Structure 1
Amino acid sequence: MSAPPHSPHGVADLCAAGTALYEQALRDGRVGAGQADTAAPCLLSLGLLHPVVDDLAQLEPVPPALVLHRLLRASGARIAEERHREERLAALFEPLMRVTGGPAAATEPGSLLILSGTERINGAITEAMAEATSEVLCVQPNSHYSGPRGEAAQPVAMARDQALLDRGCRIRTLYQHTQRHMPLVLARYEQLRGDAEARTLDEVTDRLIAIDGAVAFIPAGEDGRLALEVRHPALLTYFTTTFDRLWRLATPMYPRAVRRPSLDGVTPRQRAIAALLVEGHTDAVIADRLGMNVRTARVHIAKLAATLGSDSRAQLGYLIGKSGILDREQSQGQGSGPAG
Structure 2
Amino acid sequence: MAGHGTEEHPHGADRLCTAGDRVYSRAVRRGRVARRDAEPVPCLLELALLHPDPDDMDWLVPTSPQEVMTRLLREVYDEVSAGQRRVGAAVAAFEWYAGLGSRLGAPPGTEGTAIRVLDGLARIQAAMDEATEACASEVLTVQPGGIRREHELSEGLHRALALRGRGVRMRDLYTHVARHGQGLLNYLELMGDTVEARTLDEVVDRLILFDRTVAFIPANAERTMALELRHPALVSYLVTVFERMWRLALPLTAPLPDTGIEGISHRERSIAALLAEGHQDAVIAERLGISVRTCRAHIARLSETLGAASRTQLGVRIAQAGLDGPPGPAAGVSAPGRLPGRGAPTAR
Give TM-score scaled by structure 2 length.
0.62
Q: Which one has a bigger Cα radius of gyration?
A: 1
What SS is found at the alignment partner of 2:130?
helix
CA displacement at 1:194 relative to structure 2: 3.5
Compare the two structures and name the one with the higher helix fraction: 1
User: Is the contact between residue 139 and residue 206 of structure 1 (CA under 8 Å) also seen in structure 2?
Assistant: yes
Q: Which residue of 1 aligns with 2:211?
A: 212
Letter in 2 for 1:301: I
In the alignment, is residue 104 of structure 1 matched against residue 106 of structure 2?
A: yes
Q: Pick from 279, 282, 285: which aligns with 1:281? A: 279
CA distance in 2, matches of 1:165, 1:249: 26
Q: Distance in 1 between matches of 2:334 and 2:131?
A: 29
Partner of 1:21: none
Counterparts of residues 49-64 of structure 1 (less than 5 Å): none
The 5-angstrom pairing of residues 122-271 of structure 1 reads: 122-142=125-145, 145=148, 151-253=150-252, 256-265=253-262, 266-271=264-269
Give 1:199 shift: 0.9
Q: Whose relative contact order is higher, 1 or 2, with alpha carbons under 8 Å and at least 6 apart?
A: 2
Percent sequence identity is 44
Distance in 2 (alpha carbons) for counterparts of 1:98 and 1:305: 61
Deviation of 1:200 (Å): 1.0
Shift of 1:204: 0.9
| Residue 76 of structure 1: aligned partner | none
* AA at the equivalent of 1:135: E
Q: Which runs of 5+ in 1 are unaligned?
A: 1-93
1:299 aligns with 2:297: yes
Q: CA deviation at 1:309?
A: 1.7
Quick one: distance in 1 between partners of 2:301 and 2:236?
41
1:336 to 323, 331, 334: 331
Output the aligned Cα RMSD.
2.9
Q: For residue 104 of structure 1, what is the amino acid of its counterpart?
A: A
Return closer, same or farther for 1:317/1:113 CA change in 2, 3 Å cut-off: same
Q: Which amino acid aligns with 1:219?
A: P
2:312 is equivalent to residue 314 of structure 1: yes
- After superposition, the Cα gap between the structure-2 partners of 1:111 and 1:337, relative to the gap in structure 1 and judged at 3 Å, is farther
Kept after mapping to 1: 8 A contact 2:145/2:286 = no
2 CA distance for matches of 1:220 and 1:95? 20
Unaligned runs of 5+ in 2: 1-95, 336-348
Q: Is the 8 A contact 1:138 1:209 kept in 2?
A: yes
CA distance in structure 1 between the aligned counterparts of 2:113 and 2:140, rounded to whole angstroms = 21
Give, in whole Å, the separation in 1 of the partners of 2:154 and 2:290. 24
Decide whether the 8 Å contact of 2:175 with 2:199 is kept in 1: yes
The alignment covers a number of residue pairs equal to: 239
One-letter code aligned to 2:177: T
Counterpart-to-counterpart distance in 2, 1:141 and 1:201: 10
With normalisation by structure 1, the TM-score equals: 0.63
